[in-house]
Structure formats: C-alpha cells, structure tokens
Structure 1
Amino acid sequence: MWLDRVTTALLLLVGLVNLLPGLVAFAPSQITTAYGVSAEGPGSADLTVLLRHRAVLLGLVGLALLCAAFVPSFHLPAVTAGAISMGSFLLLAYSTPGLHSATMRVARIDTAAIVALAVAALLILRKIA
C-alpha cells in the first residue's frame, strides 16, 4: 500500500515539473525568466510561438502524469510520454555546447525528474509483475 502512495507522489511531482513550464503558453512574458533567452526584438515572434508551443506540449505531458497518479490505466502511456519528452530534451541539452545557464537549470531539474519517473516506472512494473 505504501508503495502505491510513493508511486502516486512521484507521478504528481513529475507531473508538476512538466505542468509548471506550461504556464509560459499563457504568460509569454515569463520566457526570459524560464529559459534565459530574450523574446524581444526582430524575429522574436517566431521564437515566442515556438516556446509557447513547447509549453503547451509540456503541459499536456504534465496533465497526463497527474492523471496517471490516480488512474492506473494511464500509467504506461503517461510514463512513456514523460520519459520521451524529458529524455529527448536532456539528450539535446547535454549534446549542445554553450547553452544559457537558465536552460541548463531546466536540464538539471529534468534530470532529477526523469530519475523520479524511472523510480515510479519501476514501482509500477513491480506491481504488474
């Protein structure tokens, strides 16, 4: 029973980590704070749209993980989506030199979140087996 609570807590935590950046979709003024890149000046409209779209996708992954915390049938698709989303970002971030410190902060947060997600996945698999 306590392992179920740990799994739920981990899924909630990772869900929030993914959901919170989704707020950038509704508050584009926070782009500079979140990512350390300027969304001002020539060409910034394109960057703003891309980052807001990223925020929507992160929000969807976050919502899926939050739902999975309470709906066991969502475990596999939500954990898979979270792992692909965070894993691909980490691969891109750690293979790209010269990123801003704010982007690397996001990478460190995602590293901790993907470890938490992996623990949740192991607990889910343990229960299934």
Structure 2
Amino acid sequence: MWRNRIARGLLIGVGLVNLAPGVGVLSSDRLEALYGVPVADADLELLLRHRAVLLAAVGAGLVAGAVTPTLRTPAVLVGGASMGSYVALAAAVGGTNEQLTRVAWVDVAALAALGVAAGLGRTRRPVSPVA
C-alpha cells in the first residue's frame, strides 16, 4: 500500500516537472525565459512551442499513469524516453547555456524519481512453491 502511494506521488511530481514547460506554448517571451535562448524567428518559435505542447502531453500522461494503473507502464516508458533522450543529446552536444544545462540536470533527477516510482509500483507476484 505505502509503496503504491509513494510511486504515485513520484509519478505526479515527475509529471508536474514535464507539465511546467507547457507554459512556453503561450508566448515567445515565456520560451526565452524558460530556455535562455532568443526566439529570433517564427521557425524557432514554432519548434519551441511545439516542444512545449509535447512536454505537457508527456506530463499529463505521467499524471494519468499515477492514477490509472493500466496507463502506468506506457507513461513511464514515454517519460523515460523523453527525458533520457534530452539528457543524452545535451551530453552529446555539450556547451549549452546555463538554463539548458539546468533542464538536463532536472531531467536526470526526474529520471531517478521515475525509476524509483517504477520499482515501487511493480506488483509482486507470489512465488509458487516448487513441487
């Protein structure tokens, strides 16, 4: 019982981390504040606003997985792929600004929380006696 509650709490927390950048969809000013990158043209604005929508969708999926057990595994997989790919790309590219580096570290912490949630949320199967 307590394991499931902690797992659900962690999933909601990681979901909120992913929902937060969704405010970037509202304006280029918010995007610039979030990422410390000047949004110089409509092309970059479109890409970053679309990223905000996708991150919000991942966050909503994680929150939904916290309350609906059948959605938990897909939500954890998608959230892990999303955050893990950002961390890997940030490491491969290197030399990013302070805000983007902070995003990578937040994702590392969120990935750790996601891993703990996945481990705690697993249902234990009874061990059958060997005949």
Distance 1:22 1:67, change over 3 A: same
Task: Normalising by structure 2, report the TM-score.
Answer: 0.91
What SS does the aligned partner of 2:5 have? Answer: helix
Task: Normalising by structure 1, report the TM-score.
Answer: 0.93
What SS does the aligned partner of 1:107 have? Answer: helix
After superposition, the CA RMSD in angstroms is 1.0
**Aligned residues: percent identity?**
45
Could you tell me which runs of 5 or more consecutive residues in structure 1 were left unpaired when the two chains were aligned. Answer: none
For 2:28 and 2:37, the matched residues in 1 are separated by: 12
Q: Which residue of 1 aligns with 2:54?
A: 57
Q: Which residue of 1 aligns with 2:128?
A: none
The 5 Å alignment of 1:23-102 reads 23-40=23-40, 44-102=41-99
In structure 1, give the amino acid aligned to 2:69.
P
Q: Which residue of 2 aligns with 1:124?
A: 121
For 1:21 and 1:79, the matched residues in 2 are separated by: 18
Could you tell me which runs of 5 or more consecutive residues in structure 2 were left unpaired when the two chains were aligned. Answer: 126-131
Displaced runs of 4 or more, over 6 A:
none
What SS does the aligned partner of 1:38 have? Answer: coil
State the number of aligned residues.
125
For 1:27 and 1:9, the matched residues in 2 are separated by: 30
The 5 Å alignment of 1:4-23 reads 4-23=4-23
Aligned-pair CA distance for 1:128 = 4.6
**Greater radius of gyration (CA):** 2
